[in-house]
Structure 1
Amino acid sequence: MARKRRKLPNGTGSIERVKLTPQGKTRVNQYRARLPKAKGRKDIGFYKTYNDALEALINYQEPKPLITFEELYDRYKATNSYKKLSDKTQRRYETSFQRFEEVHSMSIHDIKYSDLQDVLDQMELEGYDKTLESGEIKHMEYSKSSIERLKHLVSKVYTIAIKNDMIQLDLSKYLEVGGVGIRRKKEIFTREDIEKLYSSIPHNLNAMHVLNLIFTGMRTGEYLNLKTENINLDTNQILDFGEKTEAGRTRKMYIHPKVKDIMAYLVDQSKLGYIIEAKKEDGGVYRPSDTTFYKSIYYPALKNARVNKKIPYSCRYTFATIAHYSGISDKALQKLMGHTNFNITANSYIQDLDDYIWKEFSKIK
């Protein structure tokens, strides 16, 4: 006669033998362990023996709740130390936090070192555009202290997580901060990269936007705001697309033969009157923000073309490099790039110079 097992102590849960599956087949593991009512009577699994099920109940620990990077940042903002910060410092933290958009919804347990370091590297490599008193837009490098704010933000988030016994390792300690004086090499797109982008277009339409940026040298903001009405396919010109400065108002770009068909296609497909538009799930279209462009258009286009990740400003670097080594003069290149370093003589012959620039620009193969 089988020995009757003792009733389990209150709060332990229950063990039940279930011989058959819902389909009527004999189970290999027939002992079901179930948590007590206080814990929701949840099944924790089926086990081969009664003792295996009992051991599982005794040693059961509730899994740690998933908590995201954004939730931890919100907890930090609720602390007294954050509330005592000046409005200016709080705004800087908020700006830094927005740069980590890719990890906002990720569990703190799933975030890898590279997820965080990539954000710092991108800020360092992209830099920013500054309008000088002369009206020229100059590309600047972020200082080390500016990039270091991102590391400080991550440190605050990880400190909250460690204090609440969610994690043990503080990844912020290992983040490397670059900036002015610690400049990394700027990458450009190679001939092979460009060929891959062209070849991928049939299954990777967003590659067209990357190629347009490469062959126009436009800043990302200029391209996102480019209206189709400013694109003249008959004269191969793009007019009035620059920033609202002296340089921007007079800026003109020529459509290179290698992207003319792409421009024509995008102009024809435009619904809102802009060169770049994104599709909604319901089939509608909208104008993408900078973040959406990077996350959903630019970087996926590189990935689908099997091109190594390069920041959007690499397109502008590539344009300048190709133009320079193709023999375009500095004066013509400055005009194409939208710079204002012209002497009086050059400005006096602006119409003649336009024709000259077009001939020079056509040298790019």
Structure 2
Amino acid sequence: MKNENGSGSVYKQKGKRRKCWIARVTIGFVDGKQKRKIIGTYETRKEAQAELLGYLNNPTLYSGKTFKDVRDLWYQGYSKNISNVTLKTLNAQLKKLDEFDDIKIKEIKLHSLQKFFDNIEASYGTKSYIKSILNMIFEFALKNEFIETNRVKFIELGKNEKIIERKIFTSEEIKILFNNLDSDNKFVKKMTYGTLILIYTGLRIGEFINLKTKDINLEKNVIYITKSKTSAGVRKIPISDKILSLFKDNIDNSKEYFFFNKKGNNYLYYNFLTQFNKMLELLNLGKHTIHDTRHTFATMLNNANANSTSIVKLIGHSDFKTTEEIYTHKDIEELRKAVNLLN
């Protein structure tokens, strides 16, 4: 049956083809002749007619926009309302989605998305963050009628099985760090003093890499943390005599950030982590997470019998139970001292 004029047409190609039915529409006229656009090829006439009807109801859906096209449109608006730090993290994760760039967003199937997340080598937290980005892009596409449904919602990430091995820096490892402060290797020298500051201040890595020069008072020997992940994290930290020289010798008041990279900017978390791991390897310090520095700080305070209120304030928690359960770890020698107190 012939469709009405202007409503497109469906016809069958000659020869043996699996998808022999073609749906097409007229999108304009050139020199009095129709300019046609093929929507797609299909196995049955019924499928072709259904797609043609879908196109006539919503031409935007068949615009042919790729994932990259839609992502870039979404990015233009979203990127204006986030901080530079968040933007850097976003850009790093968006690169992982490059494999979808040239695929029409309408044609990205759930099984392809699920396979991507099943195969990606990343922590549960990173996977969750990437899924969140992808969901925002697909929601944008849905609102603008580039897709009919947001398939991202159906992606499964699996169980969040957190296996955290907390390992504090031993006194011997800390000694190795101090011994390398005068290293001829500038990279080692920089990362050792950065790591020692983390160990003796208990700063979160985000607090450290975003620590501004103006928030370090070397007259009062105090660090001011003005932004943190929690309200309790906004605090003052006295600088230990043990590391005071590390601040005095390395501070550059012409720079905005205390611990700056080659370009004079603050480090990204992933860049700092990469260099931290490289330093551990070069100094044969074994495996440590960046959070082990914070655990070490809390444990050293606890071992020195610092009162719980002080520990809570220095760590930036709201109560001692959280600090004690998560951040303090008695080493074997401290435990030995404890059991030897028994009569």
Q: TM-score, normalised by structure 1?
A: 0.45
Q: TM-score, normalised by structure 2?
A: 0.48
